[in-house]
Every structure is written in structure tokens, then in C-alpha cells.
Structure 1
Amino acid sequence: MTRVAVIGGGRIGEALLAGLLESGRASKDLVVVEPVPARAELLAQRFGVRVTDVVADAAVGADLIVIAVKPQDVDGVVTELAKAELGEQENEAVIVSLAAGVPTIRFEAKLPAGFPVVRVMSNTPMLVGQGMSAIAPGRYARKEQLALVTEALEAVGKVVTVSEAQMDAVTAVSGSGPAYFFLVVEAMIDGAVGLGLTRDVATQLVVQTMLGSAALLEESSQSAVELRAAVTSPAGTTAAGLRELERGAVRSAFHEALNAAKRRSVELGASAD
């Protein structure tokens, strides 16, 4: 079994931990680094895994070292990992970074020469096992190591492989995407309440419509364009609603939002170097 060390016991670290256990990983093959005593005790009791506050202690002997901390905490973690002398252990560990905007070269520069690093951009639906993760290999990550990372992340959703140059675009689309989705849901619920529905009924209508539509899109052989057209009868209610959305330049707004998010991702990545 692959041994996994999760550095960071926050929501994302906990979600990955829960997914790995649910997928069949043994608790003895998992260790978590969490410096806050109350949080550490909660994780140990909830999942039955070993929890430590020492990065090097968790990392030694691990096959995958998942860094699930805030970007500003990455340097401290990497400094501690360097002390662990990971390059001298029998098994070759792989660093898996979930820290947004931090390039692989930043890890590679401080770790032993040739150390494999894989950068990941995931999103919050991983908290319910429905995440979308994009992985990008660093200079020294091999194909079989990418497969190990993919297998681990599939415990909390789906995984695609991209080049690191595409990570800013991924951040704009799927990383920030849940917030765009929630804004649309929020607007539809508010609009439904304005039509006289109770907020509870409006919420049920909108949420199930979103869930059902996503399932239909995933399972159908038709594209989003074709499915939209199938719902839109000429001169019908859907056509009337879509006309107003087009008048409000909703497509342009989404294009601008994605471009703005990508630009900001580039800026944050540059400041992290």
C-alpha cells in the first residue's frame, strides 16, 4: 500500500483523508501533520490515523507527501522537509502540492536535486467526494508517479493531467468555478422568491435542477449546446428567458470573469516565486 503523509489538517486535508479511507486505504498507511492540538485530537479520533505536529516525522517513509497548507506557509513546510533528508530514504517520495499558485520549481529549488514534485489544482467539491483536480508534473516527476497521484486524488473526485503552463487557466475554470456556480444558483433562488415562491421551495427547485442538468450533461452523448436547444421551444418560455440572458451579455460576462481570474492567478504565482 502507498503510504501517504498529509501536511495540513484543514478542510482540504481532511477531505482527502476521508476519501482515501473510504476508498480502502488502511489508517496505518496515513499520517497527518496538524499543529493545533484540538484539531489534531479531532482528526485522530474521527479517522483513527496517526497525527503529529512534526513535518519531518510524517514525511519519512511516505510515498506521497501531500502539502495542503496555505501558500504563505509553503516555505516553512519545504524547509522542514529538507531537514528530513528524503533523498536518502529507500523509497522515492513524491511531493504533491495543493497550495494554490505555487510553482513546482519553488519546491525543486529547495529539495534534493531531482526530487519529483506534482502540482495540483483541486476545488471545494472534493469535500463531498466530487472534486475536479488537475495535476501537472514538475521536471522530475515520472509517469508512474503521476499514476500514483492520480489514484490518490480519484478518492475525492475526477482527475485530469495538464501542463503546468495551463494551471492558471485551470484555476480560473475549475478552481474558481464553484463560486461562479453558486452565484448563479443564488441569483436564480432570489429570482424565484421574487416570483412568489418560498425560499425553501425555490432552493429545492434550483438545486435539483442544477444537479439533474449536470447529470444529464455527463451521461448524455449530446453537447451542452444541443441539450440547451432541446429545451428551447421556438417562441416558448425558455426562449424568452434566454433572450434576456443574452441581452444581459451573460456569455461575455463569463468570458471576462475567466480571463480576470486567470490574470489574477498569474499575478499570485509571480508573487509566490
Structure 2
Amino acid sequence: MTHTVAVLGAGKMGELVLAGLLRSGWPAGRLLVTTRRAERGSELSEKYGISVVENAEAVDKADIIAVAVKPQDAGALFDEIGPKVGAGKLVVSLCAGLTTAFFAARLPAGTPVVRVMTNTPALVDQAMTAISAGPHATAEHLDLAEAMFTPLGATVRVPEKQQDAVTALSGSGPAYFYLVVEAMIEAGVLLGLPRQTAHQLATQTALGASVMLRDSGEHPALLREAVTSPAGTTAAALRELENHGVRPALLAALEAARNRAREIAGEMK
């Protein structure tokens, strides 16, 4: 039997989930979405052929409730609808920073909750999604959540205590990657390349390096060393990156993202 999924919240992440489920063959008739703005609902209904409903109807009709609202909006939403979630429902949270305990406290006793962190490459079926079991979530519930997100890319199961680190590394990770590629393009232009050429060179290099890293199974340090000839151009460039503190800057950035995820959880208690 195909489950009915209701996506609460139709922002970027909510739409990513809806679009990915449809691409994977999930029937549009088994997908519901809730929105704050009527025009956004009309846009999604026209684009994907799915039903736009009120929160109460979504909770009533769906057996999987995917929460894709902003974390700061989740408290008020679940204070309203949480007690109405009936037996046999699964709640899947995509809210950065919010623990499964946060939802469990607002749901009927025994309601299973699974916490998920995915990222925007879901748009091209190359997401990295981490899944964690919360209160009352069984292996079957994890299998179901995994089935929802596997079509969007790769999945991994982690203990929930690691989810803030996941958020910092892969949830926010595409933004770090885009910043580096953007800087490479600008540097190429500064060195005299046409912008379009610089863009093509940087993006294809990034793609090739990523696929090679994934498929070779080699440690990134070994792949880096294979490109670096003694006293060569790459060695000169890497020296400058190390001199400018790229490693500690990345560590500080990820720690800041992890700490902000923890702050969000603390603010929502």
C-alpha cells in the first residue's frame, strides 16, 4: 500500500520533498501540502497536481506527516495540531535543530517521530540525507523514512545526538561549497579568463573532483597529493590556502553552524 504523505510547509525544503517523491513515482493523489499563502498553494497545485489542504485535514488524511516549517514556527503549529495526530501516524521532522523530544512532548503518547536532515542537492537527486529514530520509532519507521528520501540521493542513519553535526556538515554544506566555487570563478576572471569560461572550468572541476572522491574510495589527502607535484603550481597554491587558514576557518564555520542548531533547540523549549 502506498502511504499518504502530508508536507506541512511549502518553502524550499517542503517543495524539495514533494518534487522528489513525485520523481520517484509517488502518486500525486497520495501527496498533500499545507501553505500559509493561498497563492503559494495555487502555484504548487498547478505545478505538481497535488492537493493543498488545511493543517487539520492534512493530519487527518495522511499517515506520514512531514514537518517542513521553519523551526520557530513548529511550536505553535504542533501546540495546535499535535493532539489531533491519531494512532498509526508517523511524524518526520525536517526542522533543523529541533529534537524528536520536542515533537513527542506535543504529540499523543506513543506517536513515532523520525528526524531527518537533507540538503538542497535533492533538486538534482544528489542529496545527502541523515535519518535518526526518535521516541517510539521502530526499524520499520526508519525504513519508511528512508524510502521517502533514498530517491533524492544518498541516505545514512545516525544517532540523534549527531544530527546537529550533520546539519553543520551536510545540511549547510552546499553553501560552503558554492562559496569556494564562486571564489574560484572570480579568481579565474581576475587572472584573465572570460567569466563563462571560468564558470565552466570551476564547476566541471568541482564536479569531477567530487565524483572521483566518492567513487575512488580514496582518502581526500591521497587524492590531493596525487595532484601536487614537488615545487609545482598546486603546491604553491596549497601553501597559500594553508597560510590563510582555510582548515581552521572551515572548522570554525562548522562549529558555528552546530552551535546555532543547538541554540535553536534551546530557544524552542
Length-normalised TM-score, structure 2? 0.95
Deviations 1:216-246 (A, max 9, x none): 1111132211111111111211111111111
Give the corresponding residue for 1:27: 28
Give the corresponding residue for 1:16: 17
Q: Give the CA deviation at 1:144.
A: 0.5
Give the corresponding residue for 1:76: 76
* Aligned 8 A contact 2:83 2:107 in 1: no
Q: What is the DSSP-based 3-state SS (H/G/I as helix, E as strand, rest coil) of the residue aligned with 1:234?
A: coil
Q: Within 5 A, what are the aligned runs for 1:139-150?
A: 139-150=135-146
State the alpha-carbon separation in 1 of the partners of residues 17 and 205 from structure 2. 28
Deviations 1:74-123 (A, max 9, x none): 12321332353413xxxx11101111111111111111101111111222
State the alpha-carbon separation in 1 of the partners of residues 45 and 175 from structure 2. 31
1:120 to 106, 116, 123: 116
The percentage of aligned residue pairs carrying the same residue is 49
Residue type of the alignment partner of 2:24: S
Residue type of the alignment partner of 2:67: I
Give the corresponding residue for 1:131: 127
Give the corresponding residue for 1:227: 223
Q: Give the CA deviation at 1:264.
A: 2.0
2:246 to 250, 268, 273: 250
State the alpha-carbon separation in 2 of the partners of residues 85 and 183 from structure 1. 41
State the alpha-carbon separation in 1 of the partners of residues 164 and 71 from structure 2. 15
State the alpha-carbon separation in 2 of the partners of residues 262 and 84 from structure 1. 32
State the alpha-carbon separation in 2 of the partners of residues 185 and 176 from structure 1. 15
Q: What is the DSSP-based 3-state SS (H/G/I as helix, E as strand, rest coil) of the residue aligned with 1:141?
A: coil
State the alpha-carbon separation in 2 of the partners of residues 256 and 96 from structure 1. 30
* Aligned 8 A contact 1:123 1:176 in 2: yes
2:177 to 172, 177, 181: 181
Count of residue pairs the alignment pairs up = 268
Return closer, same or farther for 1:114/1:221 CA change in 2, 3 Å cut-off: same
Give the corresponding residue for 2:39: 38
State the alpha-carbon separation in 2 of the partners of residues 215 and 153 from structure 1. 21
Q: What is the DSSP-based 3-state SS (H/G/I as helix, E as strand, rest coil) of the residue aligned with 2:7?
A: strand
Which ranges in structure 2 are unaligned for 5 or more consecutive residues?
Answer: none
Residue type of the alignment partner of 1:67: V
Residue type of the alignment partner of 1:30: L
* Aligned 8 A contact 1:101 1:272 in 2: no
Q: Give the CA deviation at 1:62.
A: 1.9
Give the corresponding residue for 1:99: 95
* Aligned 8 A contact 2:83 2:106 in 1: no
Deviations 1:168-207 (A, max 9, x none): 1111111121121111111111111111112111111101
Q: Supply the RMSD in Å over aligned alpha carbons.
A: 1.4
Give the corresponding residue for 1:60: 60
Which ranges in structure 1 are unaligned for 5 or more consecutive residues?
Answer: none
Q: What is the DSSP-based 3-state SS (H/G/I as helix, E as strand, rest coil) of the residue aligned with 2:196?
A: helix
* Aligned 8 A contact 2:78 2:106 in 1: yes
